[in-house]
Amino acid sequence: MERKIKLGVIGAGRIGKLHAENIIFSIPNAELKAVADIYTDRIKNWAHGLGIKNVYSDYREILEDPEIDAVMICSSTDTHAQIIIEAAEAGKHIFCEKPIDFDVDHIYQALDAVEKAGVKLQIGFNRRFDHNFRKVQELVKEGKIGEPHIIKITSRDPAPPPIEYVRVSGGIFLDMTIHDFDMARYLSGSEVVEVYTNAAVLVDPAIGKEGDVDTAVITLKFANGALGVIDNSRKAVYGYDQRVEVFGSKGCITVSNDTPTSAVLSTEDGVLSDKPKYFFLERYKDSFIEEVKEFVDSIINDREPPVTGIDGLKPVLIALAAKKSCETGMPVKVE
Q: Which of 102, 196, 240, 284: binder of a second copy (CB under 8 A)?
A: 196
> Could you tell me which residues come within 8 angstroms of residue 161 by beta carbon, excluding any fewer than 6 positions away?
169, 234
Contact positions with a second copy (CB under 8 A) in 139-158: 139, 144-145, 147, 149-150, 152, 156
Q: Which DSSP helix (H) or strand (E) runs through 54?
A: strand 54-56
- DSSP run (H or E) holding 109: helix 104-117
Q: Which is nearer to a second copy, 85 or 326 (CB)?
A: 326
Report the distance separating Cα 248 and Cα 236, nearest Å. Answer: 28
Q: Does 57 bind a second copy (CB under 8 A)?
A: no
* 10-29 binders of a second copy (CB under 8 A): 25-26
159 binds a second copy (CB under 8 A): no
Tell me the backbone φ, ψ of residue 6, rounded to 5 degrees.
-95, 125
Question: Contacting a second copy (CB under 8 A), which of 3, 49, 118, 164?
Answer: 49
Sole binder of a second copy in the list 14, 164, 205, 263 (CB under 8 A): 263
Alpha-carbon dihedral sign for residues 89, 90, 96, 99: negative
Q: Is position 47 an interface residue for a second copy (rule: CB under 8 A)? A: no
CB of 125 to a second copy, least distance (A): 19
Output the smallest distance, CB 316 to a second copy, in A: 22
Asked whether 35 and 56 are in contact (CB, 8 A), the reply is yes
- What three-state secondary structure class fits 48? helix
Of the pair 122, 155, the CB lying nearest a second copy is at: 155
Distance of CA 314 to the CA centre of its chain: 13
User: Which of 112, 113, 252, 129 minimizes the C-alpha distance to 186?
Assistant: 129
Segment interacting with a second copy, rule: CB under 8 A, options 57-65, 78-86, 108-116, 234-242: 234-242
How far apart are the C-alpha atoms of 221 and 288, rounded to whole Å? Answer: 29
Structure letter (DSSP) for residue 13: S
Regarding 3 and contact with a second copy (CB under 8 A), the answer is no
**Closest to a second copy by CB, 25 or 279:** 25
| Binding flags for a second copy, 160-189, as an x/- string (CB under 8 A) | ------------------------------
